[in-house]
Structure 1
Amino acid sequence: MVSFAYTIAGSEATGGAGFQVDLKTFHQLGVYGMGTLTCIVSFDPKNNWGHRLVQIPPQVIKDQIEAATAAHDLDTVKIGMLGHPDTIEAVAAGLAGQEWKNIVLDPVLICKGQEPGAALDTDNLLREKILSQATVATPNYFEACTLAGMEALNTIDDLKEAAQRISDLGPRCVIVKGGTEFPGDHAIDVLWDGEEAHIYSTPQIGKERVSGAGCTLAAAITAELAKGADIHEAVRIAKDMVQVGIVNRVGGNTPFDTVWQGAYRMQENA
């Protein structure tokens, strides 16, 4: 039996983040993936690899959602970069068209390339329209601080508190990713499952960020939930996939490396 997972996210042309990572992750975990594009990000190699951002018109977003949800019986969706209030309104309207068992939000805040005022409007609307509907949220260190209203996350108890505070905003389950900003030599993520906190810890692989780690984690959780896993098993598998993907990262002409999702399947088949 085929399981389906759906992503609503931005395109990143180099393949290191966003829509491309989501579909690759779905495929590696044996899930049939489909998606709706919200924006197109093209790094500028002539300008220090800065962001060039183009939003997809809201009606085109609605059309994509209509087509995907009509083609298959979908109940699990991952939401990534939205980037504009009009996009958020379009996605919120699309989500409201049916019931969802799992809405996994990777809350991309402060979209690069936007004016500060517009970025704040986007963040506020994301909280109101999307975070409130989510069943799972996967904020990184910065996003967790912002959403939880905390200046810093210096201890595991801080991660737990941030997860609980964000859960109060809508999603029952929240995975706060400590990342490279969290003190210590371990990569620590905390899952609040609606009742208690669970700690996932692995040795940190260097201090440099690897592009696509957050997208891969959220997409892997989405894929496993689509297959019927509970949130604890989904997070465990996602954490393993990200760690393997970082160890086997892909380098290129960019100033950053990217996660290699295919390494996980290779390990599983070894």
Structure 2
Amino acid sequence: MSGSSLLPASLILVGAGKMGGAMLEGWLADGLPGERVAVIDPNPAPAMVALCAAHRIALNPAHPSEPEALVLAIKPQGLEAAAEGLAPLAGPATVVVSVLAGKTIANLKDRLPRARAVVRAMPNLPASIRRGATGAAASPETSEDQRRTAHALLASNGLVEWLEDENLIDAVTAVSGSGPAYVFLLAEALAEAGIAAGLPAEVAARLARQTVAGAGELLGRSPEEPGTLRRNVTSPGGTTAAALEVLMAGDGLAPLMRDAVAAAKSRAGELAG
């Protein structure tokens, strides 16, 4: 069964900013007809207005009907103000898919009291180029058909991993949700190290950027595990081995990354509610 055949017969997207807009573009690319979509956003960007017009998507309809799927992509702090207007749209037969950071399934159900099937998802920034990584958890009332619909909606922008325990969303936030920033920091640090080694700043920046981007693309395309790829480019006694002795030392990258992920996970738990 194709992804497009699993997309809902009717869908309302609430919030058409960067993440909501990226998701919408993914659905359209996967074959979802614009006539099946409505977008609610009080301040849509000109590009979103044009996209809706081009695909005959209803933008801020006066009287939207209860949809098969309701996707929440507003800022988390905007949920309280928006909830009263959204509550009539989230009926017992609607699957609610939320990408609101920190908002739990219980929190969403409190604000959308008629909702039964609620999927909480944590995507990341590469979703904007359809290379995202998303962790998702569903309320017990979510049917298999609704779960498949939610999966199709989320998979339009990349990998989806389903979690049996919603509490693991905080760990997903710490690993993949915040993870792109860790990779960007690696590119920054590598460029700075290149400058310290004598390279001109512009050259170091370009080399570091392309190295991180190229290695990421190779990792994405290769069936090999990261450790295997690392060993494949590490000649015994060579330059890479010398660098890895530093990075893989007891106080090297691995413990730093564990501490960083633990800090992000702790903060995600503090922000949940």
Task: Report TM bin, short chain.
Answer: 0.3 to 0.5
Tell which has more relative contact order, 1 or 2 (C-alpha 8 A, sep 6+).
1
- Computing the radius of gyration from Cα coordinates, the structure with the larger value is 2
> Which structure features the higher share of helix residues?
2
Name the TM-score, length of structure 2 as normaliser. Answer: 0.35
> Which structure features the higher share of strand residues?
1
